[in-house]
Amino acid sequence: EPEVTQTPSHQVTQMGQEVILRCVPISNHLYFYWYRQILGQKVEFLVSFYNNEISEKSEIFDDQFSVERPDGSNFTLKIRSTKLEDSAMYFCASSGYSTAQETQYFGPGTRLLVL
C-alpha cells in the first residue's frame, strides 16, 4: 500500500541552525501538508501546498519556515534559524484531490530536538 515517507526519523540541532525535513508524499497525490506535534500535545497544522505554491498556512508558520517541492517526488520543510520551541515531531501528509475533505495520509514523522 502506498505510504508517505519522511527523513530523517530523528534530527538533533543547535539553536540558530537551519534544518531541512524531507518528505516523499504518495505518488499520485496533489496536496501536501506539514504538521507539528509538541510532545504530549495535539497535532497542529502548519501549511498546505498545492500546484507549487502555499495554499494555506497557520499563524505558527512564520518567516522562519519555508516549504518547497524541489522535484517531482520530494516535499521539504525548512526551518531557517531553529529555536528551542521548535522541538517537536513534524509530520508530512498528502491527499489526493481538491479540498481538505479528502482524507489526508500521514508520514511517520521526524522528531526534531533543538538544543
Partner 1 sequence: GQQLNQSPQSMFIQEGEDVSMNCTSSSIFNTWLWYKQDPGEGPVLLIALYKAGELTSNGRLTAQFGITRKDSFLNISASIPSDVGIYFCAGPKNTGNQFYFGTGTSLTVIP
91 is an interface residue for partner 1 by CB under 8 A: yes
Contact stretch for partner 1 (CB under 8 A) within 13-21, 63-71, 75-83, 97-105 = 97-105
Distance between CA 51 and CA 113 in Å, rounded?
31
Binding mask 2-41 for partner 1 (x = CB under 8 A): --x--------------------------x-x-x------
CB 90 within 8 A of CB 109: yes
**Residue from 65, 75, 104, 112 in contact with partner 1 (CB under 8 A):** 104
61 is an interface residue for partner 1 by CB under 8 A: no
Q: What are phi and psi of 38, to 5 degrees?
A: -70, 145
Distance between CA 88 and CA 72 in Å, rounded?
27
Q: Which residue has the cell 479528502?
A: 102
